[in-house]
Structure 1
Amino acid sequence: MKMHFFILLIITSWLSEKITSLPPDSRVFDRHGFPDNFVFGTAASAFQYEGATSEGGKSPSIWDYFSHTFPERTRMQNADVAVDFYHRYKDDIKLMKELNMDAFRFSISWARLIPSGKVKDGVNKEGVEFYKALIDELVANGIEPSMTLYHWDHPQSLEDEYGGFLSPQIVEDFRDFSRVCFEEFGDKVKMWTTINEPYVITVAGYDTGNKAVGRCSKWVNSKCQGGDSGTEPYIASNHLLLAHAAAVQEFRKCNKTQDGQIGIVLSPLWFEPYDSASPADNEAVKRALATELDWHLDPVIHGDYPEMMKKLAGNRLPSFTPEQSKMLKNSSDFIGINYYTARYVAHIPQADPARPRFVTDHQLQWRVTNHSNHQFGPGEDRGILQSHPEGLRKVLNYIKDKYNNPIVYIKENGINDYDDGTKSREEILNDTFRISYHEDHLQQLQKAIIEDGCDVRGYYVWSLLDNFEWEHGYSTRFGVYYVDYDNDLTRIPKDSVNWFKQFLDPADKDSQSETSCRSYRVTEPPKIYQKSETRVFHGSIDSNLFCRQREEDVDEFHTSLGLLSDVFTFEIPVNSLASTERVKLFIGFPVV
C-alpha cells in the first residue's frame, strides 16, 4: 500500500506539469467552457440606436446639438433616425434571442426621460413607458436587461444653463435622474452601470474636441467654439466621478434595487513600449495605464486619484473633500471594461508649459506601429482599430493584481469594418475578420479566467447592429448584423451571426451522457474504493486543466499525457466544468 501511495505521488507531480501544458484546443471552446452563470450579451447606446429624436417628448441632447450645429464634424450625418430601434426594438430583440444572447446592455436617454434635465420640471411619461416596454420585451424573451445611466447624451438644456459637466450642479441633477430610473425600472433591471467611458467623454469632449461637447483650446483645434484643454478635462472628469458616486448612493438606498448591482464602465487600451529597450518608453507605458485606467478606477475603489495623476497634472487636478472621498470609496460593485485595441507608447519631451493640455501632461504619444514598424493585429486597415486580443488578458491581470481581483464584466468588445463606399455588400457580410477577432478575444478571456484567476463574469459584444458611430457617422460598421441604410434599414446577418449562434448554443454538445469518464469528487486523501469489479486506488490533482473529454477523445487524451490507457484511468469531473474553482483531475490505477 505504501508503495502504491509513493507511486501516486510521483505520478501526480509529473502530471501537474503535463496538465498545465495541454494545448488550448483541448479545452472546450464555446459558452460551456466559461463559468456557470457567465453572461453573454450585446451592447448598444440610446443615441446610436434609438433615433426618434423628436418623438415621444424627447428633448435635444448634446449629441443632437453637436451633430446638427457642426455637421462637418460628424461627416454631415446625424442620428435623427439612427437604426430606428425606438420603433423596431421588438424585432431586434428577436435577433438577440436567435443569437442565444443572455443579456442586452442599453442606455437610457436622459433627454427622453427628463427633457429639461431637472426632475422638478417633470418626468416624461412617454419616455418611462418606452423603456418599460423595452424592458418587458427583453424579459419576455429571456434576455436580462442591463441599463446604463449615462452614455454621453445629457440634455442640451443643462449645457446651455450651466455648462453641463463643467459645473458641480450636474452632480445633483444626475442624482435625481438616477433616482427616477431606479424607482421606475429597478424592479426588473438588476444590472446597472453609471457612467460609460469617462476617459473618452473628458478627453474627446474637452481636450481634442472631437466629440460632443466639442470643447478645447483654440490652438488645439480651431473648430472648437471654446474651452481649455489644460483644465476642463480634469474638471469634467471630477464631476463625472462625483455623479457616479451620487447615483450609487441613491441605488443603495432604493428598495427596488437591493438585489441588484451597479458599477462604472472604463475603456482601457493595452499599451506596449514603442521601443522595448528604452527605459523612457517603458515608463511611458506606466503613465499611459495610469491615465487610461487608474485615473477613474482609483477613486471608485480607494476614494482618491492616483499619486501619478496628482504629480502629472499638479493643481489642475481637483481634489476630493473627505466627504466626497468617502462617497467614492468602494462605490462600484463591479468594474465594467470596454476593451477594443492596443497602442504602442513613446515618451515625448515636456511640452510648452505655456500651453498645457491633458494629452501632453503625461509626456507620451500613442503610436500604431513600434520602432520596428510592427503593428498590432492584421495588416489591413479597419479605420479605427487593430486587433490585440492578448491585451485584454493583460488588462484583466493588471486590474486583478493592482486592485485585489474585483468582479469584472467586459461590457463592450468588438471590431469595425470601415465602409468608404467602395466595398460591396457581400464583402461586408463576409466578416471573417470579425469572427477571428471575437474568437481570439474570447480565448484570451477564457485563459484570464481559468489560468490566471481573473474574476470576470460577463462578455458583451459591440454590437448587434451597425449604427451611428459618433464623429465617424455611418462610415464604420461594428454590427454582426448589417444595416442597409439605403433600403429601409433592413437588418441582414453577417457571417459572424452564425458563428455566435453556434458559440452561444445552450445545448451541451459534449454532455456527460456522451463521455466515458464518470465524475468523482474526491476531497479526502487518496483511498481505495470499488469501481465495477476492479479495485482502484484513486487520488486527485489540482491543475489548471479546463476541458471535457468526449468518448472518442479519451484515448488521445491518455496518449497526450504519455500514459497507457490500459494501466491508468483519467476521469474528468464534468459536473465541475464551468466552475470558477479549479477543476479536479482524478487518476487511478489497479491495486494488486
Structure 2
Amino acid sequence: MVIEGGRGRGINVWDAFTHRYPELGVNAYRLSIAWSRIIPRGKRSRGINQDGINYYSGLIDALLARNITPFVTLFHWDLPQTLQDEYEGFLDRQVIEDFKNYADVCFEAFGGRVKNWITINQLFTVPTRGYALGTDAPGRCSPWVDKRCYGGNSSTEPYIVAHHQLLAHATVVDLYRKKYKGRYPDIMRQLVGSRLPNFTEAEARLVYRSYDFLGLNYYVTQYAQAIGPSPPGQLTAMTDSRAKLTSKDENGNAPGPPFDAKGTFYRPRGMLDVMEHFKNRYGNPLIYVTENGISTPGSESFDDSVADYKRIDYLCSHLCFLRKAIEEKKVNVKGYFAWSLGDNYEFCAGYTVRFGLSYVDFANLTADRDLKASGKWYKKFLQANTKDNENQGLLRSSLSFENEKLADA
C-alpha cells in the first residue's frame, strides 16, 4: 500500500487503521515510501522534508509497537516530477545517484527499525507501461503505438529505463556490500543487440546478486505465443522476446477462472510453478510474496462487496499451492502479503476496482472500515497458522482445504 502523509493534517484513517492490524492477525505489513514526500524536489541537495520523515517514522513506530514487522518499498512508480522535467527521469543516468541519495536518507532515518527493504516495485512496469505502451506515467511511446504519447521510442527507451533502474537498485544495495560479476542473459543480448545498454566491468560486479531476497507479485496467468521479429520501423521492447502474451491458448481455452471483466484469468497452480522455477534456476533464493490478490468491481453495493467469497477462493487456492511449494518442493519462501489490507486507489484503475480485505467507502474516506468476508477468513487463517512452529511450514493451517483446491485449475 502506498502511503504519503501530509504536513499539518490530523490523524487520518490510515493512522487509525494500524491498531486493526493485530486484530486481523497479521505480523508484517508492506508499505511504500513516496520519494517526493521525503525529497520534494528530487535531489537531496535541495532539501529533505522533515515532516515526511516524521510521518513515516511515526507509522513505523506504530507498527513495531504492535509487533508488526514493516517491509518498506523505496520506489512505487512515483518519481518526483522535478527530475522528470529536468532530465527525463529514468532515461538519464543522473537518476541513479539521485535514487541512491534518496535511499540513503531513508536508510539513515528508518534503517534502525526497518530490516526489510524492497528497492523498486515491479521493475518491469515503468519501462513497459511508461515507455513502451505509454499507458502509465510519464506516458512515452513510439507514435505508431499510441499517437497520444507526448514523445518516446518504444524500441529503445524501455531498455534504457530498465537499465538505469537495475543500476539504481544495485547502487542502493551497494551501500551495504560489494558485488562480483554479472551481465544480461546471452539470449537477451542476441535479440536486442546494440539497443541494449552495456554494463561496465565495475557496474557488472555491482549488479551481480544485488539482492537479499526476491519480492514476487503474483496475480494472473497468461500464455506465451511465439512470434517472428518485428519490422525495422516497429521495434518495441514488448516484442523483442519473440513472444506475445495472450489470455487464451490457440484453441481459445482460458488457463483458469476469470480474474476480472477485462478478459484476464488466473491459475492457482501457477504460484507453485513459478516458485519451482525460481528454485531450480536461481539456487532457491529467499522469496517473499509481496502482492497476491483479486479485484472486484468498485461499483458493487456494500452488501455485495463485503460478501467477497470469490476473493476467499482466490486467496485460499493460491495459499494452498504456496504451502505445497514450501512443504513438498522445499522452496525458500518466508512470507506472504495479500493485496491489499483495504480498498484503495489503484494505479490506472483508480476507484473502479476493489482489492481490499476491508471495505472502504470511496465517497466517505473517513468512515469506519468493515472487514469483508475475506478479511474474516484471512484472520481465522492466520490465527490457525500461529499455532505452528515457523520451521514446520509457513502455511500449515487447521482450516479445511478441500482436495480439489490442489487440483490443476
**TM over 0.5: same fold?**
yes
Of 289, 295, 299, the match for 1:416: 295
Give the TM-score normalised by the residue count of structure 1.
0.64
Rounded to whole Å, the distance in 1 between the matches of 2:358 and 2:16 is 13
Of 338, 347, 368, the match for 2:247: 368
- 2:126 corresponding residue in structure 1: 201
Rounded to whole Å, the distance in 2 between the matches of 1:382 and 1:482 is 20
- 1:457 corresponding residue in structure 2: 334
Matched residue type, 1:316:
R
- 2:271 corresponding residue in structure 1: 392
TM alignment of 1:36-47, pairs within 5 A: 44-46=1-3
Rounded to whole Å, the distance in 1 between the matches of 2:180 and 2:237 is 23
SS at match of 2:175: helix
- 1:154 corresponding residue in structure 2: 79
Cα distance, 1:342 vs. partner? 0.8
Deviations along 1:301-351, one digit per CA (max 9) or x if unpaired, are 962111111112111111100000011112101111111111012122322
TM alignment of 1:54-65, pairs within 5 A: 55-56=6-7
- 2:315 corresponding residue in structure 1: 438
Cα distance, 1:466 vs. partner? 1.1
Q: Contact (CA 8 Å) 1:199, 1:237: kept in 2 or not?
A: yes
Rounded to whole Å, the distance in 2 between the matches of 1:507 and 1:330 is 32
- 1:495 corresponding residue in structure 2: 373
Rounded to whole Å, the distance in 2 between the matches of 1:143 and 1:132 is 14
TM alignment of 1:106-125, pairs within 5 A: 106-125=31-50
Q: Contact (CA 8 Å) 1:89, 1:134: kept in 2 or not?
A: no
Cα distance, 1:575 vs. partner? 10
Alignment pair present for 1:309 and 2:234: no
Cα distance, 1:443–1:86 mapped onto 2, change above 3 Å: farther
- 2:392 corresponding residue in structure 1: 577
Matched residue type, 1:496:
S
Rounded to whole Å, the distance in 2 between the matches of 1:507 and 1:311 is 47
Of 104, 114, 122, the match for 1:189: 114
- 1:137 corresponding residue in structure 2: 62
Of 126, 136, 139, the match for 1:214: 139
- 2:398 corresponding residue in structure 1: none
Deviations along 1:378-407, one digit per CA (max 9) or x if unpaired, are 247444742211111111111111111111
Of 355, 378, 381, the match for 2:234: 355
Q: Contact (CA 8 Å) 2:74, 2:103: kept in 1 or not?
A: yes
Alignment pair present for 1:401 and 2:280: yes
Deviations along 1:461-510, one digit per CA (max 9) or x if unpaired, are 1101111111111111111111111133532221101101100116866x
SS at match of 2:135: coil
Q: Contact (CA 8 Å) 1:405, 1:455: kept in 2 or not?
A: yes
Of 46, 53, 61, the match for 1:128: 53
Cα distance, 1:442–1:456 mapped onto 2, change above 3 Å: same
Matched residue type, 1:56:
R
Matched residue type, 1:122:
G
Q: Contact (CA 8 Å) 1:217, 1:227: kept in 2 or not?
A: yes
Q: Contact (CA 8 Å) 1:194, 1:244: kept in 2 or not?
A: yes
Q: Contact (CA 8 Å) 1:182, 1:251: kept in 2 or not?
A: no
Deviations along 1:44-101, one digit per CA (max 9) or x if unpaired, are 123xxx4x6xx429xxxxxxxxxxxxxxxxxxxxxxxxxx997222321122221111
- 2:403 corresponding residue in structure 1: none
Q: Contact (CA 8 Å) 2:131, 2:158: kept in 1 or not?
A: yes
Q: Contact (CA 8 Å) 2:259, 2:295: kept in 1 or not?
A: no
Matched residue type, 2:7:
G
- 2:302 corresponding residue in structure 1: 425
Deviations along 1:10-43, one digit per CA (max 9) or x if unpaired, are xxxxxxxxxxxxxxxxxxxxxxxxxxxxxxxxxx
| Identity, % of aligned positions | 40
Higher RCO (C-alpha 8 Å, min separation 6):
1
Cα distance, 1:105 vs. partner? 0.8
Q: Contact (CA 8 Å) 2:12, 2:366: kept in 1 or not?
A: no
Rounded to whole Å, the distance in 1 between the matches of 2:312 and 2:356 is 12
Cα distance, 1:235–1:160 mapped onto 2, change above 3 Å: same
- 1:473 corresponding residue in structure 2: 350
Deviations along 1:428-475, one digit per CA (max 9) or x if unpaired, are 211111101111111101111111111111101110111111111111
TM alignment of 1:188-337, pairs within 5 A: 188-252=113-177, 303-337=182-216
- 2:256 corresponding residue in structure 1: 377
Give the TM-score normalised by the residue count of structure 2.
0.91
Rounded to whole Å, the distance in 2 between the matches of 1:301 and 1:246 is 13
Cα distance, 1:352 vs. partner? 1.2
Cα distance, 1:579 vs. partner? 8.3
Q: Contact (CA 8 Å) 1:384, 1:416: kept in 2 or not?
A: no
* Larger proportion of strand: 1
Rounded to whole Å, the distance in 1 between the matches of 2:167 and 2:372 is 41
Cα distance, 1:473–1:86 mapped onto 2, change above 3 Å: farther
Q: Contact (CA 8 Å) 1:179, 1:251: kept in 2 or not?
A: no
Cα distance, 1:244 vs. partner? 0.4
Matched residue type, 1:150:
F
Matched residue type, 1:148:
T
How large is the RMSD of aligned CA atoms in angstroms? 2.3
Q: Contact (CA 8 Å) 2:180, 2:204: kept in 1 or not?
A: no
Cα distance, 1:372 vs. partner? 2.5
Rounded to whole Å, the distance in 1 between the matches of 2:148 and 2:163 is 25
Q: Contact (CA 8 Å) 2:220, 2:259: kept in 1 or not?
A: no
Q: Contact (CA 8 Å) 2:136, 2:348: kept in 1 or not?
A: yes
Deviations along 1:122-171, one digit per CA (max 9) or x if unpaired, are 11110110011011111111111111111110110000001100000000
Deviations along 1:540-590, one digit per CA (max 9) or x if unpaired, are xxxxxxxxxxxxxxxxxxxxxxxxxxxxxxxxxx8973389xxxxxxxxxx
Rounded to whole Å, the distance in 1 between the matches of 2:341 and 2:266 is 19
Matched residue type, 2:268:
P
Matched residue type, 2:342:
L
Cα distance, 1:393–1:86 mapped onto 2, change above 3 Å: farther
Cα distance, 1:251 vs. partner? 3.8
Cα distance, 1:395–1:342 mapped onto 2, change above 3 Å: same
Q: Contact (CA 8 Å) 1:383, 1:417: kept in 2 or not?
A: no
Unpaired segments of 5 or more residues in structure 2? Answer: 396-409
Structure having the higher Rg: 1
- 1:346 corresponding residue in structure 2: 225
Corresponding pairs, count: 394
Rounded to whole Å, the distance in 1 between the matches of 2:99 and 2:328 is 40
Rounded to whole Å, the distance in 2 between the matches of 1:143 and 1:575 is 16
Q: Contact (CA 8 Å) 1:301, 1:332: kept in 2 or not?
A: no
Of 356, 359, 383, the match for 1:505: 383
